[in-house]
Amino acid sequence: MTWLVIILCFRGYFAVQMANISVQDQSLMDYELLRLLLKLRQEEFYDTLLVYGEDCEFHSLTRNLDVAVVLLSDTMNFDWIFSSLTLILSCGLGIEKGGSNSTTFKLQRNRRLVVLKGDVQPSNICDIYTQKDQYNIAFVKENFGESNVIYSCRYFQEPNIEEVHLSEARPIFIEQFRNMKGKAIRIVPDLLPPRSMQYQDANETKMIGYVANLINNFAQKLNATLQLHILNPSTSITEISRMARDDELDMGVFLEASLFSTNLDTASYPYLLTSYCLMVQVPEKVPYNWVYAIIVDPLVLGIIFVMFCLLSLLLIYSQKMSWQKLSLSNILLNDKSLRGLLGQSFPFPLNASKKLRLIFTILCFASIMLNTMYDAYLQSYFTDPPSEPYIRSFKDIGKLRHKTVITATEANVLTSTNNTKFLEIPKKHLRIYESARELLALRDTFNLSYNYLVTEDRWSSYAEQHKLFKEPMFYYSNDLCFSRMIFFSIPLRRQLPYRHLFNEHMMRQQEFGLVKYWKGHSFFDMVRLGLTTLEDLSQPKPYSPSLVMEDISWIVKLYLIATLLCVFCFMSELGWEKWKRWRELRN
């Protein structure tokens, strides 16, 4: 019994000592982990901790940090709506499970600190997280309280693990994609000028354009290479958006409009803000035989008629200072007033009074003003005839001689979004193309059989080309816009790890004015690659140095009608006088 008591006492003593050692080890581990969390907060500020694991070493540390803490067991089956300045802590490998796609997307770039348990190689763990497109990963082992070693993943180096001591000044987490060391970026261009154009340079396929240049500069900035995949020419350009949604590419050299897509998970920060309007043919010049009708405004003609009647009244009254000869025929057919306003000579009384002379002076002054005004209008319009009226509303599109072409995709989107302006266009004045590439090729030739839809950024190159034309063919109608605020974005795969670097790069290119410069020179890039020419496509009509009979046909017809009317009036007067004499002789 004595030996049994002694043995039990020794066992109790050793148990107490082992427990004290375990508590000391745990206290040391907590202390070093707390130092590590404080160092991570100095490297990059965080205001939220997301802790995975039920029995986790980080639970006891959370009360010593003035940050919000979210505790999870092993799943995350809810949408993450907390701050993006979050540090993720995991107690064990593969414990992060579940969660929606939006949650995974929001927490993709957040830093992760994992406590490894058991004999697990950190290099293998980096590969596991890499397959999930998560690159800001660091690990500590269970003996971290003694070793103070942090294992940080380095994706673009071999080996892909870097050991950082807690007391060192080196950063634990770095921006992995600042230098990709030649790793390929999968891209798919739409090859629609002037956004992206393909050419050969020293047996190497390259791209140019105000979208392609953005991607080229970005790859050069990250020290990456571009893995180019060219679509079949018969493939729809919307296939690039589908490939981005299915993670078949990294970036699309293509602009996707916000009007056609609302999925921001596969789109970059807006690259361009533009409007979406009609490209309408410039109205033709008014024919020369219409010039005589254009210069006679109804309101001005009415004022001239009233002035003619007033001058006739004054002339009738001032001749004998009485209204004896006042009649409707003497007012409307006053020979002196009519010829005076037309700038012709008329008989002037020898003994005219001062009042009559004053009226003749007013008549001559009005004649000079009217004839000078209309002669100036006539010569100006004959030199450069005005255009026919421009279309100002969608309801008036039916007045256009040509139909408006549109792709089936555009028509379906505008209809599904209940675009009221599009619904105002009569369906018989639309022609729908199934192939977008076929329609764009037709538009690039400035085919005068149709009117087209175009964005403002594309019209800028068309406007540059129009400067070469002797006569403009189309104009960009700001009155016929389906939308004045369309955002164009670059398609990206959903979990692209360097999305934030690309968005930053895009905004810097805009800030430095490079995008504006690229757009301004896009037409000349197309000419240099042989995609368009400097030819005048307007086909102006041959210049005629003189008028032809057709140009004055209306005047000749009006003159003939007036002459016949005068002959008729003259014959009527003769007939009336003969009839009166016959009546007198008969009586």
Q: Which pLDDT score is estimated for 336?
A: 81
- The overall longest dimension of the chain from CA atoms, in Å, is 181
What are the φ/ψ torsions at residue 83 (nearest 5 degrees)?
A: -60, 150
**How many angstroms separate the CA atoms of 279 and 452, rounded?**
5
Neighbours of 89 (CB within 10 A): 24
Q: Which pLDDT score is estimated for 564?
A: 92
Q: Which pLDDT score is estimated for 575?
A: 86
CATH class, 21-174 region: alpha beta
CA atoms within 13 A on the CB side of 243: 23
**How many angstroms separate the CA atoms of 587 and 581, rounded?**
10
- Segments in the chain below pLDDT 50: 5, 8-10, 12-25
Neighbours of 292 (CB within 10 A): 18
User: What distance lies between CA 581 and its chain's CA centroid?
Assistant: 85
Domain boundaries, the chain: 21-174, 311-383
The model carries a pTM of 0.78
Q: Which pLDDT score is estimated for 74?
A: 63
Angstrom CA distances, 108 to 87, 91, 262, 376, 454, stand at: 11, 18, 21, 74, 38
Taking the CA atoms of 376, 377, 382 and 384 in sequence, report the sign of the dihedral they define: positive
Q: Which pLDDT score is estimated for 587?
A: 66
**How many angstroms separate the CA atoms of 523 and 459, rounded?**
11
Structure-token match 């971290």, residue found: 144
**How many angstroms separate the CA atoms of 560 and 581, rounded?**
32
